[in-house]
Structures are given as structure tokens and as C-alpha cells.
A and B are shown apart, each in its own frame.
Chain A
Amino acid sequence: MVAVAILAALLAFRAAIAADECESKSEDCVAVGHWNFSIALGGGIRTDPLGDSASIPLVVIPQVSYYGKRFFLDDLDVGFTLGELGENTFSLIASPGYDRVYFYRGDLQNFFVNGIPAGANGAQSGSAIGPQRQAAVRSTRTPRVTYLAGPEWTFAHGGFSAEVDFLHELTDQNEGNEIRAAIGAPLLESHGLLSFNTGITWNSAAIVNYYYGAANGYRGGSALDPFIKLGYSIPLGGRWRFNSFAEYERLARAVEGSPIVNQNHVTTVFAGFVYGF
């Protein structure tokens, strides 16, 4: 299946494969061997699908990345680029399981907010865990840090981008599978960029139950969560730019049906200023 998908992606974008080599720093290109730091300062919230705490505040969001010739670090993701073909990049990546952030405020993903929750998760500094959920959490298996790894295909050209990840849990916690797939396209592009993203996160039943299975017998199946996002970004001069987005994710029945989940969606909004060091 993975091979077929990769082959399909190759054929689909063969026409777009031109001599698009990176020769200078741009929106799509980055210098090899250098660290990149940025920090977003602003205001935003992510709703808590468990419904037993206030929305999760988003105020300070750091980002860090490093690109070697093939190795790269992108916040908490690490990867090895197998090859580039035009604007297509094929990599092997390892990425943390996002859902743990809901159960541990000290999880690093509560600081590096870069993913779309597969279910009930997100940055939640300052949020409180209600008694009802505490009981539910205690009754479930304690989630630990998990990492998933697998092949990734990304495509980027101008404002267009696409991504497909096939991931398998490698840290011997649930041995589940996850698929992340999304596309992005510009809606309006002048000095600033208004973009539209949409995609899905698919989690196998093993992952869903690892986080949301309950001692009372609830066992969910696999979960397919679609999302849409509108984003606007505009450079402000120097190293500053303004960034804002609004995102809505619909939770699958397998997640929504868990006794510790009380909402069927996660909404995230943020507006702030990003400074690149």
C-alpha cells in the first residue's frame, strides 16, 4: 500500500518535476547546516474536547528546526530525507504521538504546538483536569511517551503543499498505525498570503484505545478525523511577520464515543507575531 501510494504520488507530480533546485533562501528552501529559531507571541485558544476544563490558551509558541544534508529536526520530529525529486521530498520520519499532551501538561508538545490533534489533545497550559475525567484517566492505561515512525512524502511549490505520512508506533506501547494526509493551497496571494488547508488524521483502533479506551469496557475502533484550516500570514519587515489561523477538526465517532470525551470537535484559533532569529 505504501509503495503504491508513493508510486502514485510520483506519477501525479511528474509533470511538476522541473529543475527546481534550491539556490537561495526562500519560502520553500532553507540553508543546510544551520539552526532556525522562531517564536510566536500572540493570543489564541484550543477548545478542550473533554469539556471538563477551560479552553486551552495559546500565547507563546516556539519553533526550532535544523536541516542537514539529509537529516532534519523539525520541532519534535526527526527525519532522514531519502531523496528529492523536483518539489517532492521523500523522507523517513519519527514523530511523537500527539494525544499524550492531554494527559501530561509537561509534555514537550504543550510547548511546541505544531500538530493537529488526532483526538483530544493540544497545548493546554493552565487547563485543569476535572474530577470526572481524573477518574476516567485513572481507570485507563497510563499513556507514556510514544514515537511513531515511517515514510513521509511532502510536496511544496509556492503556496501549494501536500503531505502524506504512514506511521507505526515504535516505542512498544500500542503498536498502532497512523496516517496523516493534508493539502494546502493559496486563496489570495499579494503581500500577504491567505491559505486553505484540509486533510485527515487516521488512527488505528490500537492508538484510539491506548488513549481513550476505558476500564468500563469502552473499546473504540479506528478513527478518521478530518480538518479544515484557514490561515493568513504577512511579512511585517525585518524578521517579523504576522500569522493567524483558524482550524476546525471533527472527531471520529470512535473518539467521540469514549466516556472521557465530551465534544465532537476541536477548534483552534490563533493570531500573533512571529519573530525569526
Chain B
Amino acid sequence: MSNVKKVPSEHIAITAERGGLKLDDAKATRISNAISPAVANFSCPSLKLPMPEEPSGWAQRAFGGVRR
């Protein structure tokens, strides 16, 4: 955890409030600690068009037998 770049708690408080949830400093800090590893460990390739699949991957999973 110590190497993970933290999502600033003040940013989390603002994002949550946009969603209708008011957070105090302690809660915002707790959420920052909880979600920062996921945010830090994940990146998505750049979007290129046309896309090979539906974004969610649903169609690919649904018809997965086609793709081998």
C-alpha cells in the first residue's frame, strides 16, 4: 500500500458529493485508502475505432464460442 499513489481524499469527497453522498474527512480518507490500489493498478488501452468488441464485452462473452 505504501507505494500506491493515493487518490486525494478531497477529490473523493467532491466525487461522492456529486453522487449525493456527503463524506467527512475521516470517511474520505478511508475510501482513498480502500480504492487507491485498484485505481493505481488498472489502466485501459487507448480507444481505437472501429472497436473490435462491444465496450462491455457482453456480446463477446455471449457468443464466446465463436472466438477461439
A, B co-complexed: no
Chain A interface residues toward B at CB < 8 A: none
